[in-house]
Chain A
Amino acid sequence: MGAPLLLVENLRKYFEIKRVFLGKKTYLRAVDGVSLSLVRGEAISIVGESGCGKTTLGKTILRLYKPTDGRIIFDGRDITHLGWKDLKWYRRETGLVQQDPFGALPPFMTVKRILEEPLVINGVKNRREREEKIYKALERVKLTPVEDFINKYPHMLSGGQQQRVVIARATILEPKMIVADEPISMLDASVRIEILKLLQELQQKYNQSIIYITHDLSTTKYFSERIYIMYAAQIVESASTSDLLQNPMHPYTRALLNVIPDPDPGNRFIIRNVPAGEPPNLMNPPPGCRFHPRCPNFIKGVCDTREPSIIEVAKGHYVKCWLYG
């Protein structure tokens, strides 16, 4: 294996929150010390419940937000503090697919104009070349025959087709890496798989590196090589997809896996174990392990006082939990 395409070290993104009284500054720590890596041509999943910081992490990696601290190395280059001019290069090399396809597409533009825009912005001056790229992008996302779609407006397309257009736009400059932020959560069951399979094909056939962000653990195994579990702005466990699903170690991961049903008529007779409470406020997270107030395995005097570090418990399997040392 060569050097990873993306290396994120101890990344932090704090949002400043203005307090009405006292004029004191407080911070919401949306991403708080995240490290991860992405091998060229691979897909990784970032899984966590809403509000845990997934979108902020994705946007900070894409440098749509300015990092507060930490490092982002992309393709061997430190891009953490890239200035406006160099960011242009980085924008070309990366793409974002957002959650709500309809909201992401300007309603008054045709598919053709939507896809042409990033090309114009990035200085593809020749019209023929632009057209060629638009055709190729639409073929990649299987909106074929292209003629049937190219002049349509977003509202004339189904949810699945709209998301295909969003993906076509994110990949039109053939970026090395895309961040897909909950790309299927607004779609219907049968359409979800259609989009998931498309992303999988982009990865396998076109060697597209993908960061797949989701709150739905059950979709990750069809797709990514590695899973990162995020809780309250931090990664609490990471492992290869099969390792993580077969041998979850962090109590939070275990809780998640335990409550996600497969379709089975026996489910209705089971009361599931659900950790009490809710994720903490990121302006004032609990001391020690952030999961400790909800954790069934919590060790008093340890988990509530000191923050666990990340430990490699098996090859390539990392856990941030005192149960493991």
Chain B
Amino acid sequence: MRKEHLSVKHLIMYYRTMRGEVRAVDDVSFSLLKGETVALIGESGCGKSSLAKAIIRLMPRNVSIYKGIILFNGINLMDLDEEEFRRKIRWSKITYVPQAALNSLNPVIKVGEQMIEPLTIIYKMGKREALEKAAEALRRVGIDESFIDRYPFELSGGMKQRIIIATALLTNPELIILDEPTSSLDTLTQANIMNILKSIKRETGLSMIFITHDISLSSELADKVAVMYAGQIVEFDTAERFYSNPKHPYSQKLMDSVPTLRTNKKLDFIPGSPPSLLNPPKGCRFAERCQFAFNNCAEDPPAIYLDGDFYVKCWLYMRK
């Protein structure tokens, strides 16, 4: 049996703002085995990037509450202090490709110089050795090693994104968190990146958290799917079950809103919009928009476990 790699339990991260507390990550649990990919899907503002930052502990200053359990290889990362986390986890074990990372490349500094920063700074590796590693990482994402000496301003968006991914792989991490890695790219470029991620997954056994708002795209990588709505994961299931039979009323509606090329389904949408995370409603956060809402929904639904770690946060699935 494969080992459990990451297990997030009851994770909470709130932001302090002038208007009150933003409950961006509000009691979130999910897990993945070694070599698996979990797709984290949900509409913008639901808390996907916040959850990623909470796991890699790159948090904005205005975080007011940060608690819960993050088991990584059986060790609770919450027990590590900042120094230990930086030394033992970030970059070496878990890397993070932030949303829109390709825009963060400095256009006038050579690709190689930018790629080796984590190696020379964190590992104090010599420049020659680091550049060799960078060249190797570039080949892995299908880029000729001569690009080490090119400048980002000469490169297309797809090229830059591949360089970013190569950089995230430089330290041979065990887990990579990819935050909307293709959302600004074109159809063919996007497909190219997905191919690269698929082969990396296959060849290296890397675990991934793949964040996207694009449900069709999520199925290009996901072994498991976590659906986020208003700061919470409302459904966590296997890819096999999720794409054919989503359970949460929100997931079902979301799936209905996905245009497809190969089937002739009717499209539908969810009227209204998600609640504010400043003062989310007391009961189920989807209740106001849910066609199945009933009396119970005025109370917060628990995570109802259906099979192992997989759950739905909806009263409809409560066994009598």
State whether A222 touches B259 (Cβ < 8 A): yes
Q: Which of the residues A49, A194, A218 comes within 8 Å of B260, measured between beta carbons?
A: A218
Using a Cβ–Cβ cut-off of 8 Å, how many residues does chain A contribute to the interface with B?
A: 39
State whether B219 touches A261 (Cβ < 8 A): yes
User: A191 and B269 in contact (CB under 8 A), knowing A259-B187, A263-B258, A271-B195?
Assistant: yes
State whether B240 touches A265 (Cβ < 8 A): yes
User: A50 and B199 in contact (CB under 8 A), knowing A259-B191, A274-B192?
Assistant: no
Q: A272 within 8 Å of B by Cβ?
A: yes
Q: Which residues of A contact B268 (CB under 8 A)?
A: 193
State whether B269 touches A272 (Cβ < 8 A): no
A-B contact count (CB 8 A): 119
State whether B215 touches A263 (Cβ < 8 A): yes
User: A262 and B262 in contact (CB under 8 A), knowing A188-B43, A197-B269?
Assistant: yes
Distance between A244 CB and nearest chain B CB, rounded to angstroms:
11
State whether A194 touches B186 (Cβ < 8 A): no
State whether A271 touches B259 (Cβ < 8 A): no
State whether B195 touches A272 (Cβ < 8 A): yes
Q: A204 within 8 Å of B by Cβ?
A: no
User: A189 and B189 in contact (CB under 8 A), knowing A265-B243, A272-B195?
Assistant: no
Interface centre among A188, A192, A255 (most CB of B within 10 A): A188
State whether B221 touches A268 (Cβ < 8 A): yes
Q: Which residues of A contact B156 (CB under 8 A)?
A: 278
Q: Which residue of the partner chain A has the closest CB to B43?
A: A188
Give Cα distance in the complex from A267 to B194, angstroms: 11
Q: B188 within 8 Å of A by Cβ?
A: yes
A-B contact pairs, 27 of them (CB 8 A): A188-B44, A189-B213, A190-B253, A190-B269, A191-B269, A193-B267, A194-B271, A216-B187, A222-B267, A259-B190, A259-B191, A260-B216, A261-B216, A262-B258, A262-B262, A263-B215, A263-B216, A263-B219, A264-B219, A268-B37, A268-B219, A268-B222, A268-B223, A268-B239, A271-B199, A274-B188, A274-B195
Q: Which residues of B contact A (CB under 8 A)?
A: 37, 43-44, 156, 158, 186-192, 194-195, 198-199, 213-223, 238-240, 242-244, 253-255, 257-263, 267-271, 273
Q: Which residues of A contact B (CB under 8 A)?
A: 49-50, 158, 160, 188-194, 196-197, 215-219, 221-222, 245, 255-257, 259-265, 267-268, 270-272, 274-275, 278
